[in-house]
Every structure is written in C-alpha cells, then in structure tokens.
Chains A and B, each alone.
Chain A
Amino acid sequence: MNAHLVLRIGPWSLRLRPRTVVVSSLLVAAALALAVVNLSTGDFPVPFPDVLRSLFGSASDGTAYVVRELRLPRVAVAMLVGAALGISGAIFQSLTRNPLGSPDFIGLTVGAATGALVVMLLLGGSGLSVAAGALIGCLITFGVIYLLAFRRGAQPVRLVLMGIGVSTMLAAFDTLLIVRAKLEEAMEAQRWLIGSVNTSTMVEVALIGGALLVLLPPLVRYGRELEMLSLGDEAAIAHGIRAERSRLVLAVISVTLAAVATAVAGPIAFVALAAPQLASRLTRAPGANIGAAAAMGAFLLTASDWIGRRVLPLDLPVGVVTAALGGLYLTWLLAGEWRRGRQLL
C-alpha cells in the first residue's frame, strides 16, 4: 500500500510511489478525455476523430478553426489554470499545516481581484493590463501577509484569520469600486469577478503555460524541501534545509501561480482548496502531493467547465460551478473535521 518503486540507472535513482503515479495518470487521462469532449461539443458539433485531426493539423479549415481558434484556448486555459491552482493550494496547505490555508482563503485571490478592478475601473485598462493588475494586487497582498504572519514559521491560525480580515477589507473596497463605476463597466467588472474561461485566448494560454513552465524547475527542487519542512523548522534545519529561505521560495512559487491563474481566468473559487485534499485522499500519500494536486486541479476545472457548458441549460462561467461545488465541499470538510474532534480554526 505504501510501498515505493525505486528506479536506478547507474548512480541515479528515483523513488516513486506507484499508487501516486497511477492516480495522477488517471486524473490527467480523465481531464484530457473531458477536454476532447469540450472541444467536440457546442453550437457546431465536431466528431471526435475530427477534433483529433484538427489538433494535429489535417482537418478542413472550418473545422480546424472552430476547434483550434474558438475552443482550444478555453479548454487549455481551464486545464492549466486548474493545475496551477492545485499546485498553489498544495504548497500553501502544507506550509501552513492547515486544510484552509489555501490562497483563496488567506486573501490572495481577493487581492488579485482588487488589483484587476483598480486597473479596470480606475485606470480604464483592459486585457493584459487587467491581468497585470491582478498579478500585482496578489503579490502586494502576499507581501503584507508574509510580513504580518509568515516569518518565523507559518502560524496557521493567525494566517487564516489574518487572511479573512484582509479579504473582508479588500472585498469592501472592491464593492466600493463597483458601486462608483459606470453601469457597463460595473457589469464587466462583475463578470470578471465570477471567474471564467469563456473568453480565453491563446495569449492567456501562453501566460499560464509559461508561468507553469518557468516555475517547474524550482518546484521540483523545493518540493522535496517542503516535505522536510513539515517536520517543523528545527528538524528541517537539522537535516540540512535553510528553512526560512525555503519557505519563502515555496510561498513565492505558490503565490505566483495563484496570481497568474487569477489574472488569466478571474478569481476561481475552491479549486486550490479542494484539489490537494481530494488528491491526497486518492493517493493516500503523506506530504503535499504536488503532482497529483496539479492533475486533480486540471481535472476539476475541466469537469466544472463541462458541467457549466453542457449539463446545465445555459453556458455558465466555470467560476459559478466551482463556487457551488466548492461550497458543498467546504461544508463536508468542516463537518468531517468537526466529527473527528479536530478544529480548523
């Protein structure tokens, strides 16, 4: 059940947990399958073989246009944003030792939203500058939270409570911005706040894909240190880890992913919270389960997009679906922890 598989080639060795590999692969496969479904369905149905043909470049122009230009960006953004949120949540929950310590709970997503609204409503920007605003808003919020609660070891309860406080203040400010805005602008802002991949383009695919690609190497390196940090700072340092630096690097990776994801798709609720936990339930492995959380995030968001588009009668933004499912999940989580006699806060 907990056995490892060790691959050795010469002096090199990798240690894998077969169950984790299988679970992650199945999740990726399920996400890809749903992605193909999403590519094939819509006002202009495209049969599966034609979807594959358009992707690999031998379909008729019209079909290829629908699949590649109209649908692919949305599907790709859903998967990549889901993966980014899954990773981000896995890191933060492990650093804070709290299932609620995910970016959407400690105020980072709201910070990103405020940044985006400031650009949209006060500076009159659109498109990429909104994304930049979200990024900056998220990073500033993180800076504040880091200084207040994160040094000297993340203190989970303080962090979550602080996050709730920061979120509430920022949300009030967001409301103020919207109330003061012109009607169309306010509607546009409100739409952004729901979180959606409906209007994604290849620019967004490149942004989120690029962020994942750039952050992958440090993630692989520091992911191993994350496991050691869960022994407490003293033990981690005694095993050769520079705890403070390691924690800062991991937090910055996590925040950047959450920030870019929010910049690209708006504040999508609950994926960062739920994906890591559902993933580790399936892998039954200790630690952050970063890879499995990424796969679970991609699957959850792709599935939510499918539900929003196909299962419900109208084309709902994916943020509405994740918020509804996430609310159920949170209730279930809190009830479960409460029954087990543990307190999250």
Chain B
Amino acid sequence: MDNRLGARELTLAYDGAPVVDDLHLDIADGSFTVIVGPNACGKSTLLKALARVLKPRSGSVLLDGAAIASYPTREVARRLGLLPQSPLVPPGIVVEDLVARGRFAHQRLLRQWSTEDAAAVADAMRLTQVTDLASRYVDELSGGQRQRVWLAMVLAQQTSIMLLDEPTTFLDLAHQIDVLDICAELHEGGRTIVAVLHDLNQACRYATNLVVMRGGVVVAQGPPADVMTADLVNDVFGVPCLVIPDPATGTPLVVPVDRSRRALLPQ
C-alpha cells in the first residue's frame, strides 16, 4: 500500500458548525507531509482526528486499509504517534520518566519494562540529544529542550507514522532548526512524518508533500515547488508576496511584501 493513513469525506466538529468539512487526504508512506494554513483553519483538529483523538462527525480515517475506529486504542498507538499542540507536563517528573511513558502502549501490567522498552527510550533520547538531561525536571527546562523531550517521548513509542502539531512554535530559530533536523533525520530513517508548521519557508524546505488548508478544507497539495505560489499565499493568508528560489536549497522562498512596497509586485 502506498498510503497507510488517509481521510475520507471527513467532517469534524466540536459542538457547533463543522471545523473540517468533507475532507479527503492521503498521507503518502515515507513522506514528510507538512500542513500549513492560517490560525484556526482546522489543522490541529485534523491531526487529532488522524490520531483518533477526536471522533469524526461523519466520514472516516483509514489506517492500513481499515477504519481507524475499528482498531483497539492501543493498537492505534503502536502504529501512529501524536505530539499534541500543548501537552501537559505532569508535576515533578524528570526527563527520563517522561520519555519512558512513551512506551505505555507496548507495556503490560506484568511486563512493565522489557529490554526493548529500555532500548527504545535510550535510542529516543540519544536521537533527540536529551540523554544529558535525563534526570532534570521537565518543568525546569527551556522551551527548546522541552520540545526535544516531547519528541523523544513520541519517538520512544516507535511508531512508523508520527503526527506533530506545531513542534517548532515558541522556539527560537536555532531550536526550530534543531527540531526540524531531527524530524528530517527520522524521515530519512523511513518514518512517515506529518507536521503542522507556521513558517512557510521551513515548510517548503523540509516537506516532500505540502498540504495547504483554509477554513477546514485542503486548497492545495503536492510537492512544495508545485504548490507554493504567490497567488496561493495571497489567497490563503491574504499576504501579497514574491516567491523566489531559496538560495540555499532551491525550494520556494516566500518573501512577503508590505503595503508601502506593493509597487514591486509583478502585475
């Protein structure tokens, strides 16, 4: 199969009107899919539904050919991991313990810590470079360190599909690149990554597949070079811009143009 994860006629809502309406989406295996779109367009809502955290109002999410709702919860957790936009830090927990909780779906009451558990946690911490922080309290870490710890926790879950909701928000530039590089490394290692990002240029650099959303629907999808055009950005974000090749990578580079310089825009 080429797409282990996808959505069919997916309509999502909380209490009132639908937030996501009749959405179709296929997440190509081994892709680094990046979802972009204005605030409140339904990116987190979509990600939650893909991870079965939110029950669809209608339509379905397909995982490995079957409706995700038909799997036992734990089975889903062994195939697909989610880093929510704002997970809670349990009070008084240290890094190693938090990462270890990522193993829950693989454990049993009488199999609380297999050698695989130990290895998965050690690997996850090494990959995200938090091994040195192992005995630090999570609530005393900097934003960048903490985000790497959350990544380690999802990584310890050892799922081949990882959904990451705004893993770089609130981080300074160096830490954003840190986190994205870890994601790229995971992607190269064969995992399917689906991430919500805000920075369009980073999205274009790292994504193999870009999904652009607005108002709960997918307005464009495909390789960044095909999707990211000045018209699209103007359309979706309402920001006039130039799109030029990124001097470092050749991927599209979005250069917003402020009001006083509109004259520079090609007509």
Contacts and interface: CB of A to CB of B under 8 A. Distances in A.
Interface of A: 1-2, 4, 6, 11-15, 97, 220-221, 224, 227-228, 230-235, 237-242, 280, 284-287
B90 A287 contact: yes
B52 interface: yes
Contacts of B91: 97, 286
B258 to A, nearest CB: 37
A282 B114 CA distance: 28
Given A12-B110, A227-B90, A241-B73, 11 more contacts: A2-B97, A6-B113, A12-B111, A220-B109, A227-B101, A232-B84, A237-B51, A239-B77, A239-B157, A286-B90, A286-B94
Contacts of B113: 4, 6, 13-15
Contacts of A242: 73
Interface centre among B109, B112, B135 (most CB of A within 10 A): B112
B105 interface: yes
Given A227-B101, A232-B84, A234-B53, A15 B73 contact: no
B81 A238 contact: yes
18 contacts: A1-B135, A6-B118, A13-B114, A230-B88, A231-B87, A234-B53, A234-B87, A235-B83, A235-B84, A235-B87, A237-B53, A237-B73, A238-B51, A238-B52, A239-B101, A240-B104, A241-B73, A242-B73
B48 interface: yes
Interface centre among B90, B109, B111 (most CB of A within 10 A): B90
A103 B86 CA distance: 29
B121 to A, nearest CB: 11
A238 B84 contact: yes
Nearest to B165: A234
Contact of A239 (B96, B102, B135): B102
B74 interface: yes
B112 A286 contact: no
Contacts of A240: 73-78, 104-105
B136 to A, nearest CB: 10
A238 B82 contact: yes
Interface residues of B, number: 37
Contacts of B110: 12-14
A309 B130 CA distance: 54
A152 B122 CA distance: 35
A245 to B, nearest CB: 10
A164 to B, nearest CB: 23
A286 B109 contact: no
Contacts of B114: 13
Contacts of B88: 97, 230-232, 235
B257 interface: no
Contacts of A4: 113
B16 interface: no
B149 to A, nearest CB: 12
Interface in B57-87: 73-78, 81-84, 86-87
B53 A2 contact: no
Contact of A2 (B52, B75, B82, B135): B135
A329 to B, nearest CB: 19
A237 to B, nearest CB: 5
B165 to A, nearest CB: 9
Nearest to B91: A286
B92 interface: yes
Contacts of B96: 2
A280 B76 CA distance: 33
A303 B78 CA distance: 47
B93 interface: yes
A240 B51 CA distance: 10
Interface centre among B48, B86, B109 (most CB of A within 10 A): B109
Contacts of A220: 109
Given A234-B48, A286-B93, A228 B82 contact: no
Given A232-B87, A240-B105, A284 B92 contact: yes
A224 B105 CA distance: 11
Interface in B108-133: 109-114, 118
Nearest to B84: A234
Contacts of B135: 1-2
